[in-house]
Structure 1
Amino acid sequence: MEHEERFEKAVQVTGVGLFVNLGLTLFKLFAGILGNSTAMVADAVHSLSDFLTDIVVIFGFKVAKKPVDESHNYGHGKIETLSASLVGLMLLVVAGQILLYGLRRTLLFAQGGNLEQPALIALYAALLSVISKEFMYHYTILQARKINSMALTANAWHHRSDALSSLCTLAGIGAAIFLGGKWVVLDPLMAVFLSFIILNVALKIFRSSINELIEASLDEETEGQIREIIRNTEGVKAVSNLKTRRIGNNIAVDVRIKVDNALDIGEANRISIHVEHNLKKAFGPYTYVLVKAEPYEREPAGNPEDGKFPEHPMRSEKHDTCLRKQPIKKAKTTGYKDSRR
């Protein structure tokens, strides 16, 4: 998928969620107030955070799609990561608000206070929210995987957290309506329960995006895949000093490769180009790759005191390691003669 097309698709998907969240926020807030449901009011606040998050994500995609310029040599991909971190931060705030709100209502009931029984409109609103938000989760996560977007994935889980919270709200409101009496307390208790669900999702999103912003290395599985690709490139004898990081939905790889010390600079450079090509083929054309070729030499290993240094395996074909070897023209002699003779 082309660079521009990817961001257009991300904005389109997020835009659909924005309008869904706006409609749900208004309806759930109305149903929560009219239906005397603490859990539904809390759920409406969650949907409001989804709506605000969609605005942040769309803004992030608009900025992130800008091309490389003089002051941003690696593009603007980090803006997408920053958007994901803001999504996580908003979820943390919302989880805290819902937790406090639910605890206050629960304590009020425990101290002998009266909680009004929710009305059926709150139950209908919760059911509508579960169906619509679960649909939005599947729609968004499918598109996020297609375009490999961390911000869109975070937003998809935001939809899923809202669906789960609405499911809890549905159970609490249903029990409060049909069982009545002391079971009315299930309404605020469900608000407390769903706050922990939201908190768990928020921490995962926030931790992942912050790690990317501070340029943490890629996971071990991905780095292992990168090493395997480099080792399987013809002409590469060893891999060292692998450094990786993520830039938005792209990755950056900085690595040193060992090549036959009998090769000239041109041949070593061609092997480096093949390494870069293979990595971009595996991880996408916008992968940032920096390869430094060094001569492969025997290095001592083990304990120097025992006098045993195991040798590295050497290939017999010293001059046939290049995929596209071309003859190198020798420099012409200048014909300079010593004037002293």
Structure 2
Amino acid sequence: MTREMEYEERFDQAVHVTWVGLFMNLGLAVFKLFAGIIGNSAAMIADAVHSLSDFLTDIVVIFGFKIAKKPVDESHNYGHGKIETLSASLVGLMLLIVAGQIMLYGLRNTLTFIGGDALEQPASIAFYAALVSVVSKEFMYQYTILEARKINSMALTANAWHHRSDAFSSVCTMIGIGAAVFLGGRWVVLDPLMAVFLSFIILKVALKIFHSSINELIEASLDEETEGEIRQIIKKTEGVKALSNLKTRKIGNNIAVDIRVKVDNALDIGEANRISIHVEHNLKKTFGPYTYALVKTEPYEREPLGNPDDDESPEYPVNPEKHRICLRNHPDNQRQNSKSRNY
């Protein structure tokens, strides 16, 4: 699971996967353009342009990962993780454009056929070029989506779907060209009809990627399931009596949590602060070492009825000695006490 993966290793793996796709896309674009021109296939030329858009997308993604990898600095106190999200949104936008182009191409050729004009019959080289494209792009989708899940990268996931959109496009092109080459006549219309069908599939994927990445860019909260997990982690932390004002967001692959926890009002400032450190430690243990956690402690007082956070929070009996033992046993405090005894 990627939460334990080192920060730099994650980005290096993402860049490596994208470089593989970049060279394959470039090779396919050149090959399909050649086959389209020689084979007299407008569909194959359009498919070559689609592969070229994948090549340009790979450049955008690599550029995004290179910047997102940069550490925290004076002008970017939370790092550069948002660049990865921005890259994903650009990929989604490109997919939207590609879907629109394919839809217009398919509709135009379909209307041309309905109007009585004949569609040009392509040569067999265009069919075989489409077959090579289908196999290659589906392989790249499987390879990229597997790595994207390992490192939990939205940008890499978006790019994987761009590979699959090209594979779908080549399937449609292959069916259309195959029908035109081997059946001829009216079957030529299958090419533009399949292109229209494909455009709706790509459009659905593009909207999902674009919506998700834009939500992150405008600081949308995490999903309810993740926020529920965060609440449970905090509530189970020894010394926490209640919690309130939970705020969450994503910063690239990491999450940020802003929370107020309520502790026994008999504790002094130092003990209350140690509980907040325990909360932060537990969150980072679950969501990764680069989790941003801002934990504020407040004295516990029962809120009026109707506060959902407080109403669901477990109540512990006031036992200052129990808190002192808990805090004293924490690894950080044990090291601190050991240093004190040495003096």
Which has the higher Rg, Structure 1 or Structure 2? 1
Bigger shift: 32-41 or 273-282?
32-41
Partner of 1:316: 317
Equivalent position to 1:128, from 128, 132, 135? 132
1:160-209 deviation digits (Å, cap 9, x = unpaired): 22122222222222222222111111112222222222111111111111
Alpha-carbon distance, 1:313 to partner: 6.2
In the alignment of these two chains, the number of paired residues is 320
Structure 1: how far apart are the matches of 2:203 and 2:165?
9
| Aligned CA distance change for structure 1 residues 220 and 311 (closer, same or farther; 3 Å) | closer
Between 150-159 and 15-24, report the one with greater CA deviation: 150-159
Which residue matches 1:84? 88
SS at the partner of 2:240? coil
* Aligned with 1:180 (options 180, 184, 205): 184
Residue 21 of structure 2 corresponds to 17
Percentage identity across paired residues of the two chains: 81
Partner of residue 274, structure 2: 270
> Does structure 1 conserve the Cα–Cα contact (< 8 Å) formed by 2:242 and 2:314?
no
Per the alignment, residue 148 of structure 2 pairs with 144
Match of 1:156 in 2: 160
- Find the counterpart in structure 2 of residue 94 from structure 1: 98
Unaligned runs of 5+ in 1: 303-309, 327-341
Structure 2 counterpart SS, 1:297: coil
1:203-232 CA distances to partner (integer Å, 9 max, x unpaired)? Answer: 111111100100101111111111111111
- Counterpart residue number, 1:330: none
- Once residues 183 and 314 of structure 2 are traced to their aligned partners in structure 1, the CA distance between those partners, rounded to angstroms, is 76
Measure, in 1, the Cα distance between the counterparts of 2:314 and 2:221.
30
Cα distance, 1:311–1:89 mapped onto 2, change above 3 Å: closer
Residues in 2 aligned to 1:163 and 1:312: alpha-carbon distance in whole angstroms: 51
Residue aligning to 2:123? 119
**What pairs up with 1:1-341 in 2 under 5 angstroms?**
1-301=5-305, 314-319=315-320, 320-321=322-323, 323-325=326-328
Query: Which runs of 5 or more residues in structure 2 are unaligned?
Result: 334-343
Q: Distance in 2 between matches of 1:9 and 1:203?
A: 26
Q: Secondary structure at the match of 1:321?
A: helix
Provide runs of 4+ in structure 1 moved above 6 Å.
310-313
Decide which structure has greater helix share: 2
> For residues 182 and 271 of structure 1, do their structure 2 counterparts lie closer, same or farther at Cα, with a shift above 3 Å needed?
same
Q: CA RMSD in A?
A: 1.9
